[in-house]
Amino acid sequence: MKQIFLTTAAFLFSILFASAQFKLPALPYAYGALEPYIDSTTMRIHHDVHHAAYVKNLNKALEKYSELYKKDLTELLGEQEDLPMEIQTAVRNNGGGVYNHNFFWKIMAPAGSTKISTKLEATLIGNFGGVEAFKEAFEKAALSRFGSGWVWLVASPSGKLQIISTPNQDNLYSPGSNPKLKAILCLDVWEHAYYIKYQAKRAAYAKAFWNVVNWAEVEKLLNEPYN
């Protein structure tokens, strides 16, 4: 009886403890939902292996500082320079990796399921001269990023949009970035995001990406209040 109690207690404790850690969110759609533009094999490996590893390694880095499991991810990333020195790099890389992939899955959707609203179109025209001009500038930034990283469409509180690029798993929460900006769209340009289908053709991947952008989500993010 005592043994059963102890086993049950250990099990419950493990659930409580595990629930406090950062989690791998499920994809908001099936692995094959973005076909043929992003293939299901890539999505499966990207989410189940790469994204999962960032979550696992973030949790591992925080093991000695388990009170940090209670924080929101953006809160943790926002104060990464105040964290104990020995976990700063791990939080920057793995916490950044978790945040960026959470964001990336959210701003994609099956091809044809959303489109640019008249209002968002006017915003893109106002900032870039046209939707096509915006896409070209974004694709250019994707190609210009040397090595691994991300391309972002960001908004300033005045409503001005700009395209920026970050190395590795950096984002707007990384040291040295402008805290006033808000991300509304991103593209993962790590080779793991496209190599199975596109091999070295990053440009083709960036062009195909437009078919699976969740424009409704982009507009929603644009309309959300600034932190």
Q: What residues line the site for Mn ion (CB under 5 A)?
A: 188, 190, 193
* Cβ atoms 107, 213 nearer than 8 A: yes
Nearer to Mn ion, 134 or 194 (CB): 194
The least CB distance from residue 42 to Mn ion, in Å, is 10
Distance from C-alpha of 211 to C-alpha of 108, rounded to nearest angstrom: 9
The least CB distance from residue 76 to Mn ion, in Å, is 19
Nearer to Mn ion, 87 or 193 (CB): 193
The least CB distance from residue 96 to Mn ion, in Å, is 11
Nearer to Mn ion, 191 or 219 (CB): 191
The least CB distance from residue 103 to Mn ion, in Å, is 11
Nearer to Mn ion, 43 or 155 (CB): 43
DSSP one-letter string for 94-145 = IIHHHHHHHHHHHTB-STTS----HHHHHHHHHHHSSHHHHHHHHHHHHHHS
* Residue spans of alpha helices (H) in the chain: 2-19, 40-45, 52-61, 73-78, 85-90, 96-106, 118-128, 131-144, 195-198, 202-209, 215-223
The least CB distance from residue 206 to Mn ion, in Å, is 14
Residue with tokens 């960026």: 100
Which residue has the closest beta carbon to Mn ion? 188
Beta-carbon contacts of residue 26 (< 8 Å; ≥ 6 apart): none
Nearer to Mn ion, 105 or 190 (CB): 190
Residue with tokens 């404790």: 13
